[in-house]
A and B are shown apart, each in its own frame.
Chain A
Amino acid sequence: MVAADCLKLTTYFGERDRVDGRLLGDALLDIYAAHRLQASVLLRGTVGFGRAHQLHTDRLLSLSEDLPVVSVAVDRRDRIDAALQDVLAVKRRGLVTLERARMQAGALAAEPWPETLAEATKLTFYVGRHERAGGQPAFVALCELLQSCGVAGAAVLLGVDGTRLGERRRAAFFSANTAVPMMVIAVGSGDRISDALTASAELLTAPLVTLERVQVCKRDGHGLATPHALPGVDEHGLALWQKLMVHTSEATSAAGQPLHLEIVRRLRASDVAGATSLRGIWGFHGARPPHGDRFLSLRRHVPVVTTVVDTPERIGRAFEIIDALTHEHGLVTSEMVPAVQALGDARHGGLRLARHHY
């Protein structure tokens, strides 16, 4: 299935958040499973903060069962709209965003490369945790393939629950967890991503991918562009939002700590509404071979993806903070987010999709 008009529904919340005595993460994934969504993943963050600027971190054991959690769900627009009604019926706190995406599910098809994806593209593979491809783990094979195609970088994020091609795949303690979905997020120029997508068709038996438009702002510390200066509202008065994603490595430092921790600390000291860091298990950026942690090495080497969603105005300020810290390392991308709603005591924003050409 090739679907140009898809939506990605992302929610940000706390791991300990409950609704009617159940964990919110479970409740959301039940909804995604009931709607048999093509792709959904529940990801556990490593550090982050929300509107209250309360820091959640896995550094302390007693606080590490209330980490930031992100759920991502992708499907055709009408199917996401239907699931969204159920998601919004759950009374809870957190952030909900909608983004436009293209999706290919079950089989990859050669399609004319859309003009909006020409500049740079974010390609996400949804693969099973122990899925094999080309005689090795699928995520390892994909990272090798992506790098050989000249893609700027990729990070592999481990899901703890999710759906893949409509089937619920949930991790359990006593289980092989073979099919629990993980995301392989790659960023590169349109033509490189297009090559990688074509090449991956031979590697994967039942591929599931999304394609999204991004702007690469920094690569390996080199400034390529400042994030598009988007207006606060579109031509119909609907609010526009913006998202920065910062790909770093646990091994790179700033101010004596891993770079992402310093980024989160500085963002928290500013007026930015929130930030979430997700720690990957494997990945690469630039020319260095793909890598994960090393056995018995105290310093960790896995990739980290830090996400910030806010108004274009505040994203401009967030980028200044991130720019100053990523003068040597880091891949920074910017995306327009057409709908954001903050849930809780007071609701901000809305979920009608804004439209803006840039």
Chain B
Amino acid sequence: MSAWVWAGVALLGGAGAVARFVIDSLISVRSDQALPLGTLIVNVSGAFVLGLLTGLNLMGNTLLLVGTATIGAYTTFSTWMLETHRLAEDRAHRVAVVNVVLSLVAGLVAAALGRAI
């Protein structure tokens, strides 16, 4: 792998992280819901884009750069887990379960939809 690809992973990974932060914040500030909508939308949209990319049969470095680097940095498993735990801590058990199930189902559907297009 060339130095250019390494640099590309760092740069696009950074861009993915910034995109997540901006989108998550924009949604979270506006949402009054107990459900962490920002993280949910980020993860589901990421799953859709990743599905779309694999459906395009991208190869090698392109898939690495766009898929692993950009979408990998954009989506977040750890935030999803932490926010679910925080909900349970605050005794919002039903919302915590919804957050897990909804993310899983919507994420799978989004990925399948992306691939199908």
Q: With an 8 A cutoff between CB atoms, is A85 at the interface?
A: no
A60 is contacted by which of B21, B28, B88, B92 (Cβ under 8 Å)? B28
Distance between B100 CB and nearest chain A CB, rounded to angstroms: 15
A257 is contacted by which of B28, B29, B79, B92 (Cβ under 8 Å)? B92
Taking CB atoms, residues of chain B closer than 8 Å to A300 are 89
Tell me which residues from 49 to 95 in chain B have a Cβ below 8 Å from any Cβ of chain A.
79, 82-83, 86-92
Taking CB atoms, residues of chain A closer than 8 Å to B25 are 62-63
The docked-state distance in angstroms from the alpha carbon of A261 to that of B86 is 13
The docked-state distance in angstroms from the alpha carbon of A55 to that of B34 is 12
The docked-state distance in angstroms from the alpha carbon of A191 to that of B28 is 49
Chain A residue with Cβ nearest B87: A59
Interface string of A242-281 (1 = CB under 8 A from B): 0000000000010011100100000000000000000000
Chain A residue with Cβ nearest B86: A59
Report whether B89 and A63 are in contact in the complex, using a CB–CB cutoff of 8 Å. Answer: no
The docked-state distance in angstroms from the alpha carbon of A253 to that of B91 is 8
Q: With an 8 A cutoff between CB atoms, is A88 at the interface?
A: no
Chain B interface extent, by class: 20 to 34
Distance between A279 CB and nearest chain B CB, rounded to angstroms: 11
Q: In the complex where A256-B91, A298-B88, A299-B89 touch, is A61 in contact with B29 (Cβ < 8 A)?
A: no
Report whether B83 and A61 are in contact in the complex, using a CB–CB cutoff of 8 Å. Answer: yes
Taking CB atoms, residues of chain B closer than 8 Å to A256 are 91-92
Residue picked from A54, A59, A253, A258, most chain B C-beta under 10 Å: A59
Distance between B31 CB and nearest chain A CB, rounded to angstroms: 9
A62 is contacted by which of B32, B38, B87 (Cβ under 8 Å)? B38
Report whether A61 and B82 are in contact in the complex, using a CB–CB cutoff of 8 Å. Answer: yes
B38 is contacted by which of A60, A261, A299 (Cβ under 8 Å)? A60
Residue picked from B38, B86, B91, B92, most chain A C-beta under 10 Å: B91
B36 is contacted by which of A54, A60, A299 (Cβ under 8 Å)? A60
Report whether B83 and A59 are in contact in the complex, using a CB–CB cutoff of 8 Å. Answer: yes
Distance between B95 CB and nearest chain A CB, rounded to angstroms: 10
Taking CB atoms, residues of chain B closer than 8 Å to A253 are 91
Interface string of A56-79 (1 = CB under 8 A from B): 001111110000000000000000
Tell me which residues from 1 to 42 in chain B have a Cβ below 8 Å from any Cβ of chain A.
21, 24-25, 28-29, 32, 34, 36, 38-39
Taking CB atoms, residues of chain B closer than 8 Å to A60 are 28, 36, 38-39, 83
Report whether B28 and A63 are in contact in the complex, using a CB–CB cutoff of 8 Å. Answer: yes
Report whether B91 and A258 are in contact in the complex, using a CB–CB cutoff of 8 Å. Answer: yes
Report whether B90 and A257 are in contact in the complex, using a CB–CB cutoff of 8 Å. Answer: yes
Distance between A111 CB and nearest chain B CB, rounded to angstroms: 44
Chain B residue with Cβ nearest A62: B24
Chain B residue with Cβ nearest A55: B32
Interface string of A270-295 (1 = CB under 8 A from B): 00000000000000000000000000
Report whether A258 and B90 are in contact in the complex, using a CB–CB cutoff of 8 Å. Answer: yes
Report whether A299 and B91 are in contact in the complex, using a CB–CB cutoff of 8 Å. Answer: yes
Taking CB atoms, residues of chain B closer than 8 Å to A298 are 88-89
B79 is contacted by which of A54, A61, A258, A261 (Cβ under 8 Å)? A61
| The 8 A-B residue pairs with the shortest CB-CB distance in the complex, in nearest-first order | A62-B24, A61-B79, A60-B28, A62-B25, A59-B86, A63-B28, A62-B28, A257-B90
Instruction: Enumerate 26 A-B pairs (CB-CB under 8 Å) in ascending A order.
Output: A54-B29, A55-B32, A59-B34, A59-B36, A59-B87, A59-B90, A60-B28, A60-B36, A60-B39, A60-B83, A61-B79, A61-B82, A62-B21, A62-B25, A62-B28, A62-B38, A62-B79, A63-B28, A63-B29, A253-B91, A257-B90, A257-B92, A258-B90, A258-B91, A261-B90, A298-B88
- B interface residues with partner A (beta carbon < 8 Å): 21, 24-25, 28-29, 32, 34, 36, 38-39, 79, 82-83, 86-92
Q: A61-B79, A256-B91, A256-B92 are in contact. List 15 more A-B contacts (CB 8 A).
A: A54-B29, A58-B86, A59-B83, A60-B36, A60-B39, A60-B83, A61-B82, A61-B83, A62-B25, A62-B28, A253-B91, A257-B90, A257-B92, A258-B90, A298-B88
